[in-house]
């Protein structure tokens, strides 16, 4: 039995195309020829004269014609509607097949273009790194800036100026020569003493209550009773614990302050430094004439928020990391930019500078840590934790002896990376519900602190023993070690909490 190529049903009046050989119901193919003039299957030109009537075997039982029905008019109407539906379905099938072919071609073209763009970006980054290395080797320095601190935007610095590079090398040689012999200062706290730490003092209600919350803290090394805080209220505060007074409330940021730091250099004025979500870093200093802290410089070179801020070992340079995928170095005398890195594939979410001053580490939201050689601006190493749930490396800390780097290696654990072997020396699990906000090595490299949503925990380096934990303050977003490690400072909400040896 034959089947119509259009309706898929046995034809009552079958015909066959002399050109394509396909069988059709006569009334359907005649309608199609009258409307289109082509064969519906092959698309060739087709006329009624090209159709040949098929004479079926007399023994074959043909479908009953509509005229055999008792209600011919109704059946004729239904038949016409059915014919129209079959023709429309057939046309839609052809259109669907055509669209599938067009989509396949478009997807292939897009995939090829994406691969080409990715290859060009990779070649561009490799060329930039090669150019930076060659320029550094040849001693080529960029042209001097115009001295304007409040720059809206600055081009990449390319390579470090010769005088800055010389200063970094001299600092590195001086500090690395004594690193292996570096010991804790006299009177420094012991690990056994840390186990006895208890809550000593709480300074409440710092910063504004709307929006409330302290985001960062830094403790002065030259005057351990003074500390600096940044808050969600866009203010930087300098506080003196010995007098329980706010020494300065410094305004200038237009969004929350992410990081604060002291720059303390013998023979030079102390600088109060901050970096915020408003893409700006600022510096203040005490004016001897008025006795008040006044702005000294504003750095506006980044296009994304400042996610990392650290003073270089020379104490004359400031390092900044940004979500715009670059880091930069700035002179703390003129506040000019002396170096700007090429754009990375990932935004930078944290920053730490090696204590000897030649390496700089940045975290990314892709769970990796990139370590740069500051002198040439090239990546020296990339640290990647074991595969697992992706997380943001929001905090980093080099050990003071320079051998290790402390950083999160999952949502609920931290790792100690051995920089000599470029692999993880140990992982400390913190519990599935713990979320890390800050990690920090102390000055002796014997202690490491972790602050998070469940308080503060302090561990011993090498043995990895948990020495003490403080949970009474709830969530702690930042912490700092006090003078000789005998105190631990943490910020929780609008409070600054201090833990230390019992009285």
Instruction: Name residue 353's beta-bridge partners.
Output: 360
Both 287 and 348 in one domain: the answer is: yes
Tokens of 388: 């697992």
Is residue 126 in a domain?
no
Is residue 75 in a domain?
yes
Give CA separation, 253 vs 96, 278, 283, 347, in Å: 58, 7, 11, 22
pLDDT tens by residue, 12-55: 889 999 999 999 999 999 999 998 989 998 889 999 999 999 88
Is residue 274 in a domain?
yes
Taking the C-alpha atoms of residue 492 and residue 102, their distance in angstroms, rounded to an integer, is: 59
Whether the Cβ atoms of residue 447 and residue 461 lie closer than 8 Å to each other = yes
- 259: domain CATH number is 2.130.10.10
Please provide residue 459's backbone torsions phi and psi, each rounded to the nearest 5 degrees: -120, 155
Domain boundary among 95, 127, 148: 95
In the three-class reduction of DSSP (H, G, I as helix; E, B as strand; rest coil), residue 132 is classed as: helix
Taking the C-alpha atoms of residue 64 and residue 187, their distance in angstroms, rounded to an integer, is: 111
Both 77 and 220 in one domain: the answer is: no
Tokens of 29: 């193919």
pLDDT tens by residue, 90-113: 989 989 988 998 998 899 889 889
Binning pLDDT at 50, 70 and 90, where does residue 71 land? Answer: confident
Query: Per-residue pLDDT for 147 more than 60?
Result: no
Structure-token match 């840390």, residue found:
194
Whether the Cβ atoms of residue 479 and residue 494 lie closer than 8 Å to each other = no
Helix axes 26-36, 72-138, angle to 10 degrees: 50
Q: What confidence score (pLDDT) does residue 59 get?
A: 56
Binning pLDDT at 50, 70 and 90, where does residue 379 land? Answer: very high
Both 296 and 407 in one domain: the answer is: yes
Taking the C-alpha atoms of residue 318 and residue 333, their distance in angstroms, rounded to an integer, is: 10
Taking the C-alpha atoms of residue 236 and residue 285, their distance in angstroms, rounded to an integer, is: 13
Both 48 and 158 in one domain: the answer is: no
Both 365 and 420 in one domain: the answer is: yes
- 19: domain CATH number is 3.30.40.10
Whether the Cβ atoms of residue 27 and residue 76 lie closer than 8 Å to each other = no
Query: Per-residue pLDDT for 293 more than 90?
Result: yes
Both 451 and 347 in one domain: the answer is: yes
Whether the Cβ atoms of residue 19 and residue 37 lie closer than 8 Å to each other = no
Is residue 261 in a domain?
yes
Domain boundary among 39, 73, 95: 95
Q: Is the peptide bond before 497 cis (omega within 30 degrees of 0)?
A: no
Both 81 and 169 in one domain: the answer is: no
Both 91 and 146 in one domain: the answer is: no
Is residue 355 in a domain?
yes
**What whole-number percentage of the chain has pLDDT above 70?**
91
Query: Per-residue pLDDT for 155 more than 90?
Result: no
pLDDT tens by residue, 329-369: 999 999 999 999 999 999 999 999 999 999 999 999 999 99
Taking the C-alpha atoms of residue 24 and residue 4, their distance in angstroms, rounded to an integer, is: 4
In the three-class reduction of DSSP (H, G, I as helix; E, B as strand; rest coil), residue 477 is classed as: coil
Domain count along the chain: 2
Is residue 264 in a domain?
yes
Report the b/e string of 306-327 with b at 16+ CB within 10 A.
Answer: bbbbbbbbbbbbbbbbbbbbbb
Domain boundary among 59, 78, 95: 95
Structure-token match 């002896």, residue found:
401
Both 318 and 415 in one domain: the answer is: yes
Taking the C-alpha atoms of residue 351 and residue 340, their distance in angstroms, rounded to an integer, is: 14
Is residue 369 in a domain?
yes
Both 150 and 43 in one domain: the answer is: no
Binning pLDDT at 50, 70 and 90, where does residue 205 land? Answer: confident
Taking the C-alpha atoms of residue 356 and residue 189, their distance in angstroms, rounded to an integer, is: 24
Beta strands in 277-366 (DSSP E): 281-286, 293-299, 306-311, 317-322, 327-331, 337-340, 350-353, 359-363
The average pLDDT across 188-204 equals 93
Number of helices (H) and strands (E) in the chain: give both, helices first. Answer: 4, 31
Helix (H) or strand (E) holding 93: helix 72-138
Both 197 and 257 in one domain: the answer is: yes
Give CA separation, 270 vs 107, 262, 283, 380, in Å: 59, 7, 10, 32
Residue span of the structural domain in which 204 resides? 139-500
Is residue 134 in a domain?
no
| pTM for the full predicted model | 0.68
The average pLDDT across 143-149 equals 38
Burial label, 408 (beta-carbon count in 10 A; 0-12, 13-18, 19+): buried
Both 437 and 373 in one domain: the answer is: yes
Q: What confidence score (pLDDT) does residue 270 get?
A: 93
Q: Beta strand pairing status for 436-441 and 423-429?
A: unpaired
Q: Which residue has the higher pLDDT, 399 or 70?
A: 399
Non-local (6+) Cβ contacts of 213 within 8 A are 207, 231, 232, 477, 493, 494
Tokens of 220: 């002065």
Please provide residue 356's backbone torsions phi and psi, each rounded to the nearest 5 degrees: -90, -10
């Amino acid at each position: 039995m034959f089947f119509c190529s259009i309706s898929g049903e046995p034809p009552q009046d079958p015909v066959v195309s002399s050109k394509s050989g396909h069988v059709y119901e006569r009334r359907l193919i005649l309608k199609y020829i009258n409307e289109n003039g082509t064969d519906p299957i092959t698309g060739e030109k087709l006329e009624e004269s090209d159709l040949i009537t098929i004479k079926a075997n007399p023994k074959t039982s043909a479908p009953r014609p509509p005229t055999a029905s008792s209600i011919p008019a109704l059946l004729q109407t239904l038949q016409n509607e059915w014919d129209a539906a079959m023709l429309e379905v057939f046309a839609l099938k052809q259109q669907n097949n055509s669209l599938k072919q067009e989509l396949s071609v478009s997807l292939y073209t897009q995939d090829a273009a994406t691969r080409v763009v990715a290859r060009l970006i990779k070649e561009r980054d490799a060329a930039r790194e090669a150019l930076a290395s060659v320029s550094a080797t040849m001693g080529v320095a960029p042209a001097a800036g115009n001295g304007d601190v409040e720059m809206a935007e600055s081009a990449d610095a390319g390579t470090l100026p010769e005088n800055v590079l010389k200063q970094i090398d001299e600092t590195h040689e001086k500090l690395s020569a004594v690193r292996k012999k570096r010991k804790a200062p006299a009177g420094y706290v012991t690990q056994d003493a840390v186990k006895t730490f208890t809550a000593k003092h709480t300074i409440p209600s710092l910063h504004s209550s709307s929006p409330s919350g302290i985001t960062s803290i830094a403790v002065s090394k030259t005057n351990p009773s003074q500390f600096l805080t940044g808050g969600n209220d866009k203010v930087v505060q300098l506080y003196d614990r010995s007098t329980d007074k706010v020494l300065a409330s410094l305004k200038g940021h237009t969004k929350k302050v992410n990081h604060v730091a002291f720059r303390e250099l013998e023979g030079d004025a102390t600088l109060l430094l901050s970096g915020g979500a408003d893409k700006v870093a600022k510096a203040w200093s005490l004016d001897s004439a008025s006795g008040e802290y006044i702005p000294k410089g504003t750095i506006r070179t980044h296009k994304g928020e400042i996610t990392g801020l650290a003073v270089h070992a020379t104490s004359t340079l400031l390092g900044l990391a940004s979500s715009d995928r670059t880091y930069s170095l700035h002179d703390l005398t003129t506040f000019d930019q002396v170096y700007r890195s090429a754009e990375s594939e990932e935004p930078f979410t944290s920053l730490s500078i090696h204590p000897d001053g030649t390496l700089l580490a940045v975290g990314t939201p892709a769970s990796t840590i990139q370590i740069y050689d500051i002198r040439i601006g090239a990546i020296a190493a990339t640290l990647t934790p074991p595969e697992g749930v992706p997380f943001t490396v929001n905090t980093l800390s080099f050990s003071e002896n320079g051998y290790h780097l402390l950083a999160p290696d999952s949502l609920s654990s931290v790792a100690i990376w051995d920089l000599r072997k470029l692999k993880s020396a140990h992982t400390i699990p913190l519990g599935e519900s713990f979320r890390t906000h800050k990690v920090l090595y102390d000055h002796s490299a014997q202690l490491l602190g972790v602050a998070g949503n469940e308080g503060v925990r302090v561990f011993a380096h090498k043995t990895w023993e948990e020495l003490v934990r403080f949970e009474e303050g709830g969530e702690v977003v930042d912490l700092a070690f006090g003078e000789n490690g005998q105190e631990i400072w943490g910020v929780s909400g609008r409070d600054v909490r201090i833990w230390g040896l019992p009285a």
